[in-house]
Structure 1
Amino acid sequence: MNRPLLMFAASLCLIGAALDTTSVTAANLLTNAEFETGTLAPWAGVGGLGPNATVTVQSPANGPTLPGPHSAFLENRAEANGLTMAQTTPNGTAVPGTVFYSYDLKLGSALNGGVFFVEIFAQNAAGAVIGNAGLQGNYSPAGWTHFSGSFVAPTNTDHLTIQFEAPTGAVFGSVSSMSVDNVNLNQGALTSASTSTWGRVKSLYR
């Protein structure tokens, strides 16, 4: 092979290497965080469920952060009732340190004392709550809105729980309903994904 062909072949190899780059994102500790299985599990209604207080998966109704037609919908029309949806990560999935959280919310109704909150707990290996992010809310976004924040999980943190709460007031006609989507809990542990960039290709010839 002559020199020009060798140089051309080498250039192709360099371009291929530049295109096959890796991006990193923080690993979500939650499962079915976008509800795209079309079912709730492993999310569950952990309080306040009844004929007039339900947690379902709806479609099409998608939050802005990630694609996909599904989201969860909490609808509480039971008076003085604390409807709650939660997910607990498996034992050993969290460590002491910063926990980042985010979620998309869209208000359904908030009438006569109906409100909406989010709570996140750090738990030890036995399941006891040893830290939390504080009470988040009252939320009442008229359209899909992305919320995010962080807190520091204390020593002996082993796993996490996040719960979405739609309590009603002790008056007739109290309603709390909210769509929930694209929930994320992470501690900055990274996962990689293949991406392409022409910026690196250009840099080869500068």
Structure 2
Amino acid sequence: MALSACNVVSNPSFETGILNPWHASAVDVAKISNGTTAYSGNYFLNLQTAVGNRGNTISQSLKHLKPRSKYDFSVQVQMPSPSGSSYCSVYVYAGRNATVGAIASAQLFSFGEWTEVTGSYIARRDHDILNIVAACDSEDSSVTGNVLIDNISLTSGQCVWASD
């Protein structure tokens, strides 16, 4: 699936092979990987979760948003293989407050399957921060998990779509 030119997210599928312009909440937890595991294309993000069943985040500054416009969000996520985690959660929000800026969330219970997480967002100003958090739950609080991320999309219904 090709991502739309209407997408306000830069490097949405990590096909540049680098993390930029995304920023991770901790050093060395966000690694760009390539191979057949990718949802589409050649690259995807492998986000390691934090110990103690806490999450790590990737964030990106968004610009040129249209205030009061609705944006549709989607992302493909996967819990790659059993690693001691019972399940993983993905939370997506805009801004600095996960409650006020909530866009989407999902819990992943199946290993090795891509899952689409969708939601919507109404821009409050012409710029904001998109945050994607991944956390895995385990009885052993010293275990970290991983969540694969690919094909991030945030598009406005007011966008003029180009024909294929």
Q: TM-score, normalised by structure 2?
A: 0.76
In structure 1, distance between residues paired with 2:99 and 2:50: 32
The structure that has the greater radius of gyration is 1
What residue is the counterpart of 1:107 in the other structure? 79
- Relative to structure 1, the CA distance from residue 82 to residue 183 in structure 2 (aligned partners, 3 Å threshold; closer, same or farther) is same
Percent sequence identity over aligned pairs: 16
- More moved, 137-146 vs 108-117: 108-117
Once the two structures are superposed, the pairs formed by residues 6-45 of structure 1 within 5 Å of their partners are 27-45=6-24
In structure 2, distance between residues paired with 1:85 and 1:36: 16
Q: Does 1:166 align with 2:148?
A: no
Structure 1 gaps of 5+ residues are: 1-24, 196-206
In structure 2, distance between residues paired with 1:69 and 1:62: 6
Residue among 85, 101, 105 paired with 1:136: 105
Deviation at 1:112, TM superposition (A): 5.0
What residue is the counterpart of 1:89 in the other structure? 62
Count of residue correspondences: 157
SS at match of 2:79: strand
Deviation at 1:160, TM superposition (A): 3.8
Q: Which amino acid aligns with 2:43?
A: H
Deviation at 1:34, TM superposition (A): 0.8
- Relative to structure 1, the CA distance from residue 40 to residue 132 in structure 2 (aligned partners, 3 Å threshold; closer, same or farther) is same
- Relative to structure 1, the CA distance from residue 135 to residue 34 in structure 2 (aligned partners, 3 Å threshold; closer, same or farther) is closer
SS at match of 2:145: strand
- Relative to structure 1, the CA distance from residue 150 to residue 75 in structure 2 (aligned partners, 3 Å threshold; closer, same or farther) is closer
Kept in 2: contact 1:112–1:173 (CA 8 A): no
In structure 1, distance between residues paired with 2:98 and 2:54: 23
In structure 1, distance between residues paired with 2:85 and 2:148: 19
Structure 2 gaps of 5+ residues are: none
Per-residue CA distance 1:76-124 (angstroms, 9 max, x = gap): 363454311122212x323213220111111134635663222121x5x
Report the RMSD for the aligned CA atoms in angstroms: 3.0
In structure 1, distance between residues paired with 2:57 and 2:98: 17
